[in-house]
Chains A and B, each alone.
Chain A
Amino acid sequence: MNYDAIIVGSGFGGSVSAARLAEKGLRVLVLERGPWWGPANQDKPAEVRRAYPRGVAGSRKFLRNIHTANSSRLVNADGLFELHRFDALTAITGSGVGGGSHIYTNIQQPADDAFFDRYFPEEITAAEMKGWYRKVRETLRPSPLPPENRPEKNVAFEKAGIAADLGKPTYPDLAIEWKGHGPGTTNAGGLRQQACDHCGTCIVGCENTAKTTLDLTYIPLARRHGAEVRALAEVTAIGETDEGYVVRYVDHRSGMHLQEAAPRLILAAGTLNTVRLLLRARDVQRSLARLGPALGRNFTPNGDMGMAVLGTRSVRNSTRGAAFNAFYRGNDLPGQPYLIGEVGMPLDALPISPVLRRLLRTSVVFVGMGSESRTGRLFLVDGALQAEASRELDPTLYAAIESLADAVGSQYRPRRIWYNWPGGRGARALATVHPLGGASIGRTPEEGLVDHRGQVFGHRGLYVADGALYPHAPGVPPSMTIAALAERIASLME
């Protein structure tokens, strides 16, 4: 065998796994369905690197594929966003070397201590997780928005919160290089990043390398220790052998289907793609027919809800400044954290008309998230992934998020607040950018698909190391916890 470990995906789970396993001396292969993105990867071969999509000219590269219950349509293998459309849930995720780090809002927020005590096996405690969070922090070096760089939209957000008797917001750590690297200094990946220019395009890819994405940190660490990263290589099937696992993937450059094998297989393709691969291996391809009954359970959209505050009178240009740099938490639902933050819109990067762009400059976007009291599930219908998740998971929580958004949003004196975009206030259908769970950690095979080490019960060498691990919604941005759990899994891996 050519490799000791194959890692499917290179987001917060895959890139951390790749770096730490390569550091241990393992021969690591990373298969990533998307390309290398942005100006930081100009040294990569032209056929596997792409510029971030911008404006009308780059609009072809915004969308990668659309998955629905009836079809799966690949629009562009080198698109940035994936759209998953289920019965009552729309999920938007990212694609590329570095995974969701290219499109997330930079927040590095640990889950609450109580989250681990309540939902995880006893081996994983809040105290123990602090060490893994520290490792992530050492690599991504996040810090809050500097007060001297507060953009207009942030000032308005804080003012609205104070007017609503919520006090000052929380300023979370953001994985952004605020000052830039001068001569002789680098980030943890050994690269130089530019200082943030506050352009506000964080969620469609950062063009000046200020965003501390994983292709600037963990991935270079992995490659320095010998890991091989194959971009535009989409895994379509996985199976078991006597000595490990085999994967089949499409090389999107040539269209050829190829296979690789290794004694360890780490699935980190993003929650929906990881669970789809596992469900198809168990139920369609029958190549992992012994996978347990917990597969697909404990799925959650993390209480996500988008709200547009349209035509405000307090913001003239909502495009400037890092996305989601502050948030307000709700604390009236015991054991169920929830929050709302202001994201802004990267209007100058989107393929929209100048008139619409001008109209939307005075509008802002709130994103809410929270920990629902129940979880849903993922399953297959005629071989296609379907999700059972809607407002019915926790109507009280979603109403509370809408109320919190209302309290803050109304202080902007907007023309209109569009709650729960795109369904509308009270609508059953939701949209999420944080699909989590479905291959969750549990104490037993009945409770979860994987044990506390991330290893699938009854499948030595098969691991899950992405958002699918979550046994419940954390109610906060999940990326840092995914990375911390991946640090833990790689450390314990034999």
Chain B
Amino acid sequence: MKAKNMPTSFNQAVDPASLAMKSPRELDELFAALPPAQADALQGTLHGRLAATVGLASLPPVIRKRVFALTHAEFFPWRGKSFSGDRGANVWVSAKRGIRFAAYSMRVEAAHDRSGPVLRLDYDVKENLAPLRRILGEVRTLGPGLYLGRMYYRIGGRAVRVLYFTLSA
């Protein structure tokens, strides 16, 4: 099914807990099959969840599940991202009245791994501290009001994939 701004495959679970059980390769394959997020649809504050981080994939599934359960707990400070026009920032502590920290600009560009267009979140903006400016995000549409993103950290001339996350409206 060719999609307007929706995913092209439907026979898999798309909740963060299920995504966390996938290997990095499976997540890369899923991400590559998705259409880019539309900036005009991504507006306001979206609820965020970690789906995978580098290094944890090698852990046994039971432990991986427990670790991700912690990142989905109330005390975990990251709440998601807020979007306004072609700018945005991460939301911390509280979704409604939380702290906005680590800003980015947005535009549709080619994915870092050349898997087609993505909505790129570029943290190289002047209000960020120097270490944050090295972060690069990519977001694609996973379903209606649901997005899959991944983050890179730029070291020297290369970018290292750090984590996957979901955003939901």
Contacts and interface: CB of A to CB of B under 8 A. Distances in A.
Interface stretch (A42-50, A252-260, A458-466): A252-260
A239 B7 CA distance: 11
A287 B40 CA distance: 11
A360 interface: no
A257 B145 contact: no
Contacts of A260: 10
A241 B4 contact: yes
Given A241-B6, A242-B2, A243-B2, A257 B15 contact: yes
Contacts of B4: 240-242
A286 B169 contact: yes
Contacts of A91: none
Query: Which among B2, B17, B43, B143 has the greatest number of chain A C-beta atoms within 10 A?
Result: B143
B94 interface: no
B3 A241 contact: yes
A257 B43 contact: no
Contacts of B40: 286
B62 interface: no
Interface residues of A, number: 27
Given A241-B3, A241-B6, A248 B13 contact: no
Contact-size category for B: 20 to 34
B61 interface: no
Interface string B1-29: 11111110010111101100000000000
B51 to A, nearest CB: 12
A16 interface: no
A257 B144 contact: no
B6 A240 contact: yes
A211 interface: no
B14 A258 contact: yes
A285 B144 contact: yes
B50 interface: no
A255 B146 contact: no
A257 B6 contact: no
B129 interface: no
Contacts of A255: 15, 17
A241 B15 CA distance: 20
Query: Which among A241, A247, A256 has the greatest number of chain B C-beta atoms within 10 A?
Result: A241
Interface string A281-296: 1001111110000000
B110 interface: no
B41 interface: yes
Contact of B145 (A243, A256, A280): A280
Given A255-B15, A284-B44, A284-B145, 11 more contacts: A238-B144, A242-B3, A243-B1, A248-B14, A257-B14, A258-B10, A258-B12, A259-B10, A281-B144, A286-B41, A286-B43
Interface of A: 1, 237-244, 246-248, 255-261, 280-281, 284-289
10 contacts: A237-B143, A239-B143, A241-B4, A242-B3, A244-B1, A256-B17, A261-B10, A281-B145, A285-B144, A289-B41
- For the complex of A and B, 5 pairs with smallest distance between CB atoms: A285-B145, A239-B144, A287-B144, A257-B15, A256-B13
